[in-house]
């Protein structure tokens, strides 16, 4: 198995500590280094200058870059960086948080198959150490995995501590809420309800080995999905390793992040408005 050197290029102390611990769980795939020319650079998107750091990594010819906890960025700039990375053969992945969870991705085809008969999809993210925009982008990645064709989103409320966004995809009414809650930690919950079945999902964001709780309810009872004791961030690192070694396509790219940031631009304002999907 190929082992890549990796440097954590971030000043956000909590994210640095979290990623150091997760890297220690994959020693056969990644080895931490302080070398300025490692194989892989991991960036924290919560840093204001993260796109500058990404630009520098691409210019230096780094083989792979992983953007963790994506923050605010200009979508046009991100698409330009994506094109530059492709020209320079730098593989850039986005650790999109909850949506990277492997237990979630295992069951996602079943959830997607049930979506056309659903009438309501309701999701709540509790957060504290990230910006509301980051929480919304990571929440949106989960929702768009189920309903790619969301109609224009409508922002009902936005502050530094919470947001409420609604939308629709065909017959499914969508409600997305984010709430700053130091006691709850970083967590996503989701309910998708239809006339014949219901899905209930809880995914932790930052715990090192907290399993997701995913259950389907139908006329025969409750069906809990197998638990996987793994952080979504670890799953994102494993995905990047696979992409670097055998060319496995990345699930979330800079172009995907740019699309999500276009939609997330809505929650930067307090007034009610519609956002094209």
Does one domain contain both 90 and 116? Answer: no
Does one domain contain both 63 and 151? Answer: no
Range of the domain at 107: 99-228
Tokens of 14: 């909590």
Does one domain contain both 133 and 209? Answer: yes
Q: State how many domains the chain has.
A: 2
DSSP code string of 93-134: EEE-GGGG-HHHHHHHHHHHHHGGGEEEEEEEEEESSS-HHH
Residue 277 lies in a domain: no
Residue 274 lies in a domain: no
Does one domain contain both 13 and 45? Answer: yes
Q: Residue 63 is part of a domain; what is its CATH number? A: 3.40.50.720
User: Mind listing the pLDDT tens digit of every residue in the chain (277 residues)?
Assistant: 899 999 999 988 888 998 999 999 999 999 999 999 999 999 998 888 999 999 999 999 999 999 998 888 889 999 999 999 999 999 999 999 999 999 999 999 999 999 999 999 999 999 988 888 889 999 999 999 999 888 778 888 888 899 999 999 989 999 999 999 988 889 999 999 999 999 999 999 888 888 999 999 999 999 999 999 999 999 999 999 999 999 999 999 999 999 888 887 766 553 334 444 4
Does one domain contain both 194 and 217? Answer: yes
Residue 45 lies in a domain: yes
Instruction: Check: CB of residue 277 under 8 Å from CB of residue 165.
Output: no
Q: Residue 121 is part of a domain; what is its CATH number? A: 3.30.360.10
Does one domain contain both 245 and 176? Answer: no
Does one domain contain both 111 and 178? Answer: yes
Instruction: Check: CB of residue 212 under 8 Å from CB of residue 103.
Output: yes
Does one domain contain both 108 and 206? Answer: yes
Residue 198 lies in a domain: yes
Does one domain contain both 161 and 215? Answer: yes
b/e burial code for range 21-39 (CB count within 10 A of at least 16 → b):
ebbeeeeebbebeeeeebb
Residue 270 lies in a domain: no
Does one domain contain both 123 and 198? Answer: yes
Does one domain contain both 86 and 163? Answer: no
Predicted model pTM: 0.90
């Amino acid at each position: 198995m190929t082992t890549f050197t990796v440097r954590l290029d971030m000043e956000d102390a909590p994210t640095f500590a979290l990623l150091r611990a997760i890297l220690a769980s994959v020693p056969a795939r990644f080895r931490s280094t302080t070398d300025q020319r490692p194989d892989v650079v991991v960036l924290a998107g919560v840093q204001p200058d993260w796109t500058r750091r990404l630009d520098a990594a691409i210019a230096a010819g780094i083989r792979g870059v992983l953007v963790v906890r994506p923050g605010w960025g200009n979508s046009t700039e991100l698409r330009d960086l994506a094109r530059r990375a492709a020209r320079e053969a730098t593989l850039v992945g986005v650790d999109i948080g909850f949506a990277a969870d492997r237990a979630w991705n295992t069951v996602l085809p079943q959830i997607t198959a049930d979506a056309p008969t659903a009438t309501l999809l309701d999701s709540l993210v509790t957060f504290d150490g990230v910006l509301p925009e980051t929480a919304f982008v990571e929440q949106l990645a989960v929702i768009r995995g189920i309903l790619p064709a969301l109609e224009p989103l409508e922002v009902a409320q936005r502050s530094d501590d919470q947001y409420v966004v609604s939308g629709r995809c065909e017959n499914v009414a969508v409600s997305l809420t984010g709430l700053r809650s130091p006691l709850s930690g970083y967590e996503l919950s989701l309910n998708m309800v239809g006339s014949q079945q219901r899905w209930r999902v809880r995914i932790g964001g930052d715990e090192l080995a907290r399993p997701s709780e995913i259950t389907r309810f139908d006329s025969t009872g409750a069906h809990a999905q197998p638990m996987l004791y793994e952080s979504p961030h670890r799953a994102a690192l494993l995905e990047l390793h696979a992409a670097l070694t055998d060319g496995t396509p990345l699930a979330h790219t800079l172009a995907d992040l740019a699309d999500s940031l276009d939609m997330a631009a809505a929650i930067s304002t307090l007034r009610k408005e519609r956002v094209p999907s």
